[in-house]
Structure 1
Amino acid sequence: MDTVLGIIGGSGVYQIEGLEDAGWTAVDTPWGAPSDQVLTGRLDGVRMCFLPRHGRGHVQSPSSVNYRANIDALKRLGASDVISVSACGSFREQMAPGDFVIVDQYIDRTFGREKSFFGPGCVAHVSVAHPTCPRLSAACAQAARANGVTVHDGGTYLAMEGPQFSTLAESRLYREVWGCDVVGMTGMPEAKLAREAELCYASVAMITDYDSWHPDHGEVDIGDIIRTLLGNADKARGMAAGLPRLLGAARAPCPHGCDRALEHAILTRPEARDPALVARLQAVAGRVLG
């Protein structure tokens, strides 16, 4: 099969020089509308799909993003690999603003979002013990370092509901008691849904601030965040531009099994499945549903 690289992130990420045949595509999904149209194109022989997570102009909050529709849309466009690029706060002194963290674990504290494609009428349980793809994560780290970014391999991402930032007590809890490394508002349920859709998924957390725990920085300053975001967008664009050469146009099966996550996950007997839900699941789970 061919590599089709999906990238979910901000507007600065997809403004890549040399993107051929670029155009915006509207995608209809049975889960509702995605955050925006998807920019498709080709770079170094690899098809790429860029989806603005919050919509162009930043019109969606972390809680209003339709995560199911976003993942379904990328799957419908043929994505084999999905990279999440998002802003985050840091709980570690050595993970400084401007650095990238290649996330490999999550603690999910979100509560107002649809977290699964499955449900009554077609029940499935996938493993998210290791929620990101090591192969894809390693490629992101290599591409970022090639562009001069300080990269931290591995980190636990605390996914909070938002849209408010953490209280000081929460920040201390996440850092000192739970041992988290970064905090953000969009990592979940995106990673869980990508696993259900049998997509290799990597998360690149771009640090903008020290949240509110740091004694020398105090509370989060939105002005500082925006200034750091602009610099991080340049770094993310350079990383994204280097990925096609690292991944290659030909796609072998994932050595970690991300693309076979549903192999034994669906528990509902075929004769008991809800036909309406099965129809909605065709893009993300058609391989195993038939």
Structure 2
Amino acid sequence: MKTMIGVIGGSGLYDIDGLEGAAWQKLDTPWGAPSDEVLTGTLDGVPMAFLPRHGRGHVHSPTSVPYRANIDALKQLGVTDVVSVSACGSFREEMAPGDFVIVDQFVDRTFAREKSFFGPGCVAHVSVAHPICERLAGLCYEAARTTGVSVHMGGTYLAMEGPQFSTLAESKLYREVWGCDVIGMTNMPEAKLAREAELDYASIAMITDYDSWHPQHGEVDVSEIIATLGANSANARDLIAQLPALLGPERAACPQGCDRSLEFAVMTAPDQRDPTLVAKLATVAGRVL
């Protein structure tokens, strides 16, 4: 199988530099239109697709992002490895604004989003005990280190609904009681859907602030976030530029089994499956259906 890297860009990252043969493609999916057109091309000989999560001009809120359509669109294009880049707050003094965190766990507190491709008429249960592809996360960490950015390997991401930032009480709960490391609004249900689509998924949290728990920083200041995003986005582009050489053009099977997560996940008997839903699942689950 050939490698194709999919990058989902978060706040502040709306395009990718240096793609050869770059072109924006308009795609449609059974789940509606994705957040925007997808920028495709090659980087150092490896195909790449870039999708701005919020759309160019930042038109989608965290709740309105069409997560299912985004993952389906990347799978349509032949993406094998998805790298999520997103702006986050930090619950740890040592994870400072400007740092990157390669996330390895999630606590999902979102509640207003469709979280699965499956449902009545075709039920499936995938494991997200280890929601991040360890191989891909390790390569992202290696790529980040080459850029000189301060990067932390491993961290738990609290996914909140938003669009408001946390109250002080919530921030202290997530940090002191639940033991989370970073907080954001967009990696869920994205990571769950990538697993259902049998795509390797890694998450790069770009720290912009200390949320509201920090006694010296107080409440989140959007102007400070925007200032930090500029430097973070430049570092994210440098990181992404390293990935084609690290991943290589030929892709072996995922050691963790991310690319085979549906192997035994579909529960509904073949003769009881809803043909309309099965047709919608053709891209993400056609291998097993």
TM range (shorter): over 0.9
Partner of 1:147: 147
| Letter in structure 1 aligned against 2:3 | T
Partner of 2:228: 228
Q: What's the secondary structure of 1:87's corresponding residue? A: strand
Counterpart contact for 1:49–1:74, Cα < 8 Å = yes
Partner of 2:156: 156
Distance 2:252 2:109 in 1: 34
Provide the TM-score with structure 1 as the length reference. 0.98
Distance 1:54 1:211 in 2: 21
Q: What's the secondary structure of 2:140's corresponding residue? A: helix
Partner of 2:286: 286
Partner of 1:165: 165
Partner of 2:262: 262
- Shift, 1:261, TM fit: 0.1
Counterpart contact for 1:4–1:46, Cα < 8 Å = yes
Partner of 1:123: 123
Partner of 2:183: 183
- Shift, 1:283, TM fit: 0.3
Counterpart contact for 1:13–1:236, Cα < 8 Å = no
Partner of 2:64: 64
- Shift, 1:74, TM fit: 0.2
After superposition, residues 3-42 of structure 1 pair within 5 angstroms as 3-10=3-10, 12=13, 14-17=15-18, 19-42=19-42
Distance 1:258 1:282 in 2: 18
Distance 1:60 1:72 in 2: 18
Distance 1:189 1:43 in 2: 28
Which deviates more from structure 2 when the two are superposed, residues 232-241 or residues 7-16?
7-16
Distance 1:287 1:54 in 2: 29
- Shift, 1:93, TM fit: 0.2
Per-residue CA deviations over 1:163-217 (Å, capped at 9, x if unaligned) read 0000000000000000000000001000000000000000000000000000000
Determine if the alignment matches structure 1 residue 99 to structure 2 residue 127.
no
Partner of 1:82: 82
Distance 2:81 2:282 in 1: 18
Where has structure 1 moved over 4 Å in runs of 4 or more? none
Distance 1:110 1:212 in 2: 19
| Letter in structure 2 aligned against 1:237 | R
- Shift, 1:79, TM fit: 0.4
The CA RMSD measured in Å over matched residues stands at 0.7
Partner of 1:44: 44
| Letter in structure 2 aligned against 1:168 | L
Per-residue CA deviations over 1:55-80 (Å, capped at 9, x if unaligned) read 00000000000000000000000000
Partner of 1:238: 238
Distance 1:28 1:57 in 2: 20
Distance 1:77 1:226 in 2: 32
Provide the TM-score with structure 2 as the length reference. 0.99
| Letter in structure 2 aligned against 1:150 | S
List alignment gaps of at least 5 residues for structure 2: none
| Letter in structure 1 aligned against 2:115 | K
- Shift, 1:13, TM fit: 5.9
Counterpart contact for 1:132–1:202, Cα < 8 Å = yes
Distance 1:181 1:231 in 2: 21
List alignment gaps of at least 5 residues for structure 1: none
| Letter in structure 2 aligned against 1:146 | T
Distance 2:235 2:206 in 1: 9
Counterpart contact for 1:13–1:234, Cα < 8 Å = no
Distance 1:32 1:284 in 2: 14
Number of residues paired by the alignment?
Answer: 288
Distance 2:16 2:185 in 1: 24
Q: What's the secondary structure of 1:288's corresponding residue? A: coil
Per-residue CA deviations over 1:75-124 (Å, capped at 9, x if unaligned) read 00000000100000000000000000000000000000000000000000
